[in-house]
Protein backbone atom coordinates (compact mmCIF):
# COMPACT_ATOMS: atom_id res chain seq x y z
CA UNK A 1 0.00 0.00 0.00
CA UNK A 2 1.80 3.10 -1.25
CA UNK A 3 1.80 6.38 0.69
CA UNK A 4 2.25 9.96 -0.39
CA UNK A 5 5.83 11.15 0.09
CA UNK A 6 4.72 13.99 2.43
CA UNK A 7 2.81 11.63 4.75
CA UNK A 8 3.98 12.33 8.32
CA UNK A 9 1.99 9.56 10.03
CA UNK A 10 3.96 8.18 12.99
CA UNK A 11 3.14 4.60 12.02
CA UNK A 12 3.48 4.57 8.24
CA UNK A 13 4.62 8.00 7.03
CA UNK A 14 7.83 8.12 5.01
CA UNK A 15 8.22 11.83 5.85
CA UNK A 16 8.36 11.19 9.62
CA UNK A 17 12.03 10.69 10.49
CA UNK A 18 11.15 9.41 13.97
CA UNK A 19 8.32 7.14 12.86
CA UNK A 20 7.98 3.38 12.44
CA UNK A 21 7.85 3.43 8.60
CA UNK A 22 5.49 0.44 8.49
CA UNK A 23 4.69 -1.01 5.07
CA UNK A 24 1.53 -3.07 4.59
CA UNK A 25 0.63 -5.54 1.88
CA UNK A 26 -2.91 -6.53 0.97
CA UNK A 27 -3.54 -10.29 1.10
CA UNK A 28 -5.81 -12.14 -1.32
CA UNK A 29 -8.60 -12.25 1.29
CA UNK A 30 -8.52 -8.43 1.70
CA UNK A 31 -6.70 -8.47 5.04
CA UNK A 32 -3.45 -6.53 5.47
CA UNK A 33 -0.05 -7.80 6.58
CA UNK A 34 3.10 -6.04 7.78
CA UNK A 35 6.40 -7.81 8.55
CA UNK A 36 8.41 -5.32 10.63
CA UNK A 37 11.35 -5.64 12.95
CA UNK A 38 10.92 -2.78 15.42
CA UNK A 39 14.19 -1.28 16.71
CA UNK A 40 15.11 -1.04 20.38
CA UNK A 41 14.61 2.74 20.28
CA UNK A 42 10.88 1.92 20.77
CA UNK A 43 11.37 -0.12 23.94
CA UNK A 44 9.65 0.13 27.29
CA UNK A 45 11.42 -2.46 29.44
CA UNK A 46 14.83 -3.44 28.06
CA UNK A 47 14.42 -5.92 25.21
CA UNK A 48 10.65 -5.40 24.83
CA UNK A 49 8.47 -2.96 22.92
CA UNK A 50 6.65 -0.21 24.80
CA UNK A 51 2.93 -0.89 25.22
CA UNK A 52 2.09 2.26 23.28
CA UNK A 53 4.09 1.00 20.31
CA UNK A 54 2.23 -2.32 20.46
CA UNK A 55 -1.05 -0.38 20.44
CA UNK A 56 0.22 1.68 17.49
CA UNK A 57 1.06 -1.47 15.50
CA UNK A 58 -2.45 -2.83 16.06
CA UNK A 59 -4.09 0.53 15.33
CA UNK A 60 -2.15 0.84 12.06
CA UNK A 61 -3.14 -2.68 10.96
CA UNK A 62 -6.79 -2.04 11.71
CA UNK A 63 -6.87 1.31 9.92
CA UNK A 64 -4.99 -0.11 6.92
CA UNK A 65 -7.56 -2.92 6.63
CA UNK A 66 -10.11 -0.17 6.02
CA UNK A 67 -7.80 1.81 3.75
CA UNK A 68 -7.36 -1.33 1.63
CA UNK A 69 -11.03 -0.82 0.69
CA UNK A 70 -10.26 2.70 -0.55
CA UNK A 71 -11.60 4.39 2.59
CA UNK A 72 -9.97 6.71 5.13
CA UNK A 73 -11.07 6.27 8.74
CA UNK A 74 -9.92 7.43 12.15
CA UNK A 75 -9.89 5.47 15.39
CA UNK A 76 -12.95 6.05 17.57
CA UNK A 77 -12.46 3.26 20.06
CA UNK A 78 -9.85 0.56 20.49
CA UNK A 79 -9.44 -2.41 22.83
CA UNK A 80 -6.05 -4.10 23.22
CA UNK A 81 -5.14 -7.44 24.79
CA UNK A 82 -1.47 -7.66 25.73
CA UNK A 83 -0.99 -11.43 25.81
CA UNK A 84 2.82 -11.87 25.79
CA UNK A 85 5.76 -9.45 25.69
CA UNK A 86 6.80 -8.32 22.20
CA UNK A 87 10.58 -8.41 21.75
CA UNK A 88 12.30 -5.48 20.11
CA UNK A 89 14.70 -6.22 17.23
CA UNK A 90 12.79 -9.46 16.45
CA UNK A 91 10.76 -10.13 13.30
CA UNK A 92 7.00 -10.05 13.86
CA UNK A 93 3.89 -10.31 11.72
CA UNK A 94 1.11 -7.75 12.12
CA UNK A 95 -2.25 -8.63 10.57
CA UNK A 96 -5.44 -6.60 10.29
CA UNK A 97 -8.86 -7.33 8.86
CA UNK A 98 -12.10 -5.47 8.42
CA UNK A 99 -14.89 -7.28 10.27
CA UNK A 100 -17.95 -5.24 9.27
CA UNK A 101 -19.13 -1.85 8.10
CA UNK A 102 -22.30 0.20 8.64
CA UNK A 103 -22.33 3.54 6.88
CA UNK A 104 -19.31 5.52 8.10
CA UNK A 105 -18.63 3.04 10.94
CA UNK A 106 -16.09 0.26 10.37
CA UNK A 107 -15.07 -2.46 12.84
CA UNK A 108 -11.67 -4.05 12.48
CA UNK A 109 -9.42 -6.56 14.27
CA UNK A 110 -5.65 -7.02 14.36
CA UNK A 111 -2.99 -9.18 15.94
CA UNK A 112 0.77 -9.39 16.36
CA UNK A 113 2.39 -12.79 15.88
CA UNK A 114 5.97 -13.87 16.58
CA UNK A 115 8.17 -16.09 14.41
CA UNK A 116 6.94 -19.21 16.27
CA UNK A 117 3.30 -18.39 15.49
CA UNK A 118 2.34 -17.21 18.98
CA UNK A 119 -0.15 -14.35 19.19
CA UNK A 120 1.53 -11.69 21.33
CA UNK A 121 -1.20 -9.06 21.30
CA UNK A 122 -4.54 -8.53 19.62
CA UNK A 123 -7.11 -5.83 19.40
CA UNK A 124 -10.35 -4.66 17.94
CA UNK A 125 -11.57 -1.21 17.13
CA UNK A 126 -14.25 1.04 15.78
CA UNK A 127 -13.18 3.48 13.07
CA UNK A 128 -15.13 6.39 11.62
CA UNK A 129 -14.76 7.19 7.93
CA UNK A 130 -13.58 10.73 7.20
CA UNK A 131 -13.43 12.69 3.97
CA UNK A 132 -10.75 15.15 2.84
CA UNK A 133 -11.38 18.60 4.26
CA UNK A 134 -14.05 17.40 6.69
CA UNK A 135 -14.35 19.59 9.81
CA UNK A 136 -15.47 18.37 13.23
Could you state, in order of their start, the residue ranges of all structural domains in the chain?
25-129
Residue 56: DSSP 8-state: H
At the fourth CATH level, the homologous superfamily of domain 25-129 is Hotdog Thioesterase (3.10.129.10)
The answer to whether the predicted template modeling score (pTM) of the entire model surpasses 0.85 is yes
pLDDT in tens, 24-79: 999 999 999 999 999 999 999 999 999 999 999 999 999 999 999 999 999 999 99
Backbone angles phi, psi at 83, to 5 degrees: -90, -40
Phi, psi of 67 (to 5 degrees): -60, -30
The confidence score (pLDDT) of residue 5 equals: 57
How far apart, in whole angstroms, are the C-alpha atoms of residue 50 and residue 93?
17
Quick one: pLDDT at residue 90? 98
Question: What phi and psi values does residue 87 have, to the nearest 5 degrees?
Answer: -70, 140
Amino acid sequence: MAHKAQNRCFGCGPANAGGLHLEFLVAEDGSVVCLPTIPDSFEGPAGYLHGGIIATLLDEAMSKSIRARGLTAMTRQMEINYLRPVHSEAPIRVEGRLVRSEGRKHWSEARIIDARGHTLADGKGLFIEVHSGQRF
